[in-house]
Structure 1
Amino acid sequence: MSIEDVNKIDLFTVTSEEICPAQAFLIITDHLEWPLNPNEHLFMLQEKINSYIAAVESGEVNNLFPESRGKDIVIKIYFQHRIPMECVDFLGKVSEVLSSTNIQLQYEESE
């Protein structure tokens, strides 16, 4: 699964019980390269993030992954390629919006 599978959760994991606060990670894997015009890629990323948020807010995450109950939710994105400034700005705006919810956003680049 990947960013292209909009309605699927790519990976799920939780922190060990010794770690506080307990966190449940919904992971997005993005293997796509960034074109000169990143708008289409950003739209795909937005759709994937929105589907994760909807799954959390609807309770679907708790049904699919009961071990997520009572834990802080983190959407974590792993980018295979270096992200452009437009993506950094977009993720900052998403984080601002999510700051009023119980969902956090994190990301890592591998290059």
Structure 2
Amino acid sequence: MTIEQTRVIDMIGIDNQTGTCTLTISDHLDWEDELSHLYLLQEKLNSYLAFVESEEILESYPEATGRNICFMIYFLHDIPEIAKQFLENARHTISSAGFELCFEVTPFPY
């Protein structure tokens, strides 16, 4: 699964150290078309939020019950300034909903 599949949850699991339920987004796209990339990212995050807020997560992954939720984005490419601003705004919105948004740039195979 990838960021291009905006209605699909890429990965979900429980962090063994913190007990947090982490929903992961795999973002392999470069930033050549920043606006299209940001649109896909926004749609993906909206799907993740809907999945959690509707409690569909509990039906699909009962282990998430009673746990903190973190949305984790792994980027393959360095994040441009416009995307950093978007992510900070998204972090604030997601935090207001009671969840956490984390991200990092890391090479990963496809």
Same fold by TM-score greater than 0.5: yes
Q: Which runs of 5+ in 1 are unaligned?
A: none
Report how many aligned residue pairs link the two structures: 107
Give the aligned partner of residue 50 of structure 2: 54
- Give the 4+ runs in structure 1 shifted more than 4 A: none
CA shift for structure 1 position 99:
1.9
DSSP-derived class of the 2:92 partner = helix
| 1:8 match | 8
Q: Is there any run of 5+ residues in structure 2 with no aligned partner, and where?
A: none
Alpha-carbon shift at residue 98 of structure 1 (Å): 1.7
State the 1:110 CA deviation. 1.8
Identity %: 38
- Structure 1 residue 106: Cα displacement: 0.2
Which residue does 1:23 correspond to in 2? 20
> What is the distance in 1 between the residues matched to 2:25 and 2:36?
17
Q: Alignment partner for residue 97 of structure 2, among 78, 97, 101?
A: 101
Counterpart residue identity of residue 50, structure 1: N
Q: TM-score, with normalisation over the residues of structure 1?
A: 0.91
Letter in 1 for 2:25: I
Q: Which residue of 2 aligns with 1:84?
A: 80
- Mapped to 1, the partners of 2:78 and 2:106 lie a distance apart of 7
Deviation of 1:13 after TM superposition, in Å, equals 1.0
- Cα-Cα RMSD: 1.1
Query: Does the residue aligned with 1:78 lie in a helix, a strand or coil?
Result: strand
Which of 35, 39, 43 is 2:35 aligned to?
A: 39
Q: How far apart are residue 45 of structure 1 and its match? A: 0.3
Distance (whole Å) between structure 1 residues aligned to residue 67 and residue 98 of structure 2: 9
